[in-house]
Amino acid sequence: MSDQGARPIGLFDSGIGGMTVLREVRRLLPAEDLIYLADQARCPYGSRSPDELRAIAAACAAWLIARGAKLVVIACNTASAAALADLRCRFPETPFVGMVPPVKPAASRTRSGVVGVLATPATLAGDLLRDVISRWAEGVRVIEQACPGLVEQIEKGALDTPETRALLRSYVTPLLEAGADTIVLGCTHYPLLLPQLRAIAGDDTLILDAAPAVAQRVVQIVKERSLMRDVNPLSGIITCATTGDPEHFANLIHRLDLPCDRVEQAVITIDA
């Protein structure tokens, strides 16, 4: 077994949202150990400034690298938008996989020519999304919808409540009324509201999540760089750590049926 291969794949997000990415990575790479950092002490990220987000992302990545991560997935559109380039410069030895709302497949699949993007304010303000829209969505109307409050509801575990459904409806209805037939989930928390979103948007609306493509990119890098774990246990261990309350985190992921073998407390220090 190569030393590299034996190390875990690291992922981080502001909370449980990035577990929707972890779930896909686990599906494609079941033998890999995964270590997930949920920075719930600083959640939500979506209204923070780029400078703040870069400092937070650097601390999260450093924590995962200190835990032996051989590759880091920024399982968060908001942190990717602010910090992907910065993290690659700070930690040149570590491969990073970032995320951007999947506007490219949306633009090629829409029939109405109108695509709605649900994301946090910081993701919508970032250059990554701007670049993707200008490169891949020519001739398509892309409507950006910030969704303040949704991440907080999800983190509370208030998924199927009248308040959450009303909030979601207030964000999605204008997109549908404008003719959107494709909705892009531009935040890793939002796939956790898929049943509620489907109930509002109907069966004919295409709803796109970037997590499967991100997991495929992880597989590709792991293979290219010979980082694959070359023993074959039945399954790798999934360790989750939170800067918030481990008991709340454990209850939440259990309720949402997200994969995890153990939950720990993490403490990270942010450089000002």
Owner of token pair 């450093």: 62
Task: Choose which of 8, 10, 46, 126 interacts with ligand DGL (CB under 6 A).
Answer: 46
Rounded Cα distance between 135 and 261, Å, is 41
Task: Choose which of 7, 9, 11, 17 interacts with ligand DGL (CB under 6 A).
Answer: 17
Task: Choose which of 40, 123, 145, 153 interacts with ligand DGL (CB under 6 A).
Answer: 123
Quick check: 242 and 263 in contact, CB under 8 A? yes
Rounded Cα distance between 231 and 235, Å, is 10
Task: Choose which of 8, 9, 12, 14 interacts with ligand DGL (CB under 6 A).
Answer: 14
Residue nearest to ligand DGL (CB): 46
Q: How far is the CB of 98 from ligand DGL (least distance, A)?
A: 11
Residue 93's Cβ-count burial label (10 Å; 0-12, 13-18, 19+) is exposed
- Give the binding range for ligand DGL (CB under 6 A) out of 22-30, 75-83, 88-96, 235-243: 75-83
Q: How far is the CB of 83 from ligand DGL (least distance, A)?
A: 12
- Give the binding range for ligand DGL (CB under 6 A) out of 3-11, 127-135, 168-176, 185-193: 185-193
Active-site entry in 43, 60, 147, 187? 187
Quick check: 81 and 28 in contact, CB under 8 A? no
The H or E element that residue 254 is part of is: helix 246-255
Q: How far is the CB of 122 from ligand DGL (least distance, A)?
A: 7
- Which value, to the nearest 10 degrees, does the dihedral of the CA atoms of residues 219, 221, 225, 226 take? 0
Q: Is the dihedral of CA 134, 136, 139, 144 positive or negative?
A: negative
Rounded Cα distance between 83 and 49, Å, is 11
Q: How far is the CB of 266 from ligand DGL (least distance, A)?
A: 16
- The answer to whether residue 187 forms part of the interface with ligand DGL (CB under 6 A) is yes
- The answer to whether residue 196 forms part of the interface with ligand DGL (CB under 6 A) is no
- The answer to whether residue 43 forms part of the interface with ligand DGL (CB under 6 A) is yes
- The answer to whether residue 243 forms part of the interface with ligand DGL (CB under 6 A) is no
- Give the binding range for ligand DGL (CB under 6 A) out of 71-79, 108-116, 219-227, 258-266: 71-79
Task: Transcribe 92-116 into DSSP letters.
Answer: TTS-EE-----HHHHHHH-SSSEEE
Rounded Cα distance between 268 and 186, Å, is 26
Q: Is 187 a catalytic residue?
A: yes
- Quick one: tokens of 246? 């481990």
Rounded Cα distance between 52 and 255, Å, is 31
Active-site entry in 76, 147, 240, 260? 76
Q: What single-letter amino acid sits at 106? A: A
For residue 168, give every residue at least 6 positions away whose Cβ sits within 8 Å of its Cβ, in sequence order, or none.
147, 150, 193, 196, 197, 200
- The answer to whether residue 167 forms part of the interface with ligand DGL (CB under 6 A) is no
Q: How far is the CB of 73 from ligand DGL (least distance, A)?
A: 12
- Give the binding range for ligand DGL (CB under 6 A) out of 73-81, 107-115, 127-135, 230-238: 73-81
Q: Which residues are catalytic?
A: 76, 187
Chain residues binding ligand DGL by CB under 6 A are 13-14, 17, 43-46, 76-78, 120, 123, 151, 187-189
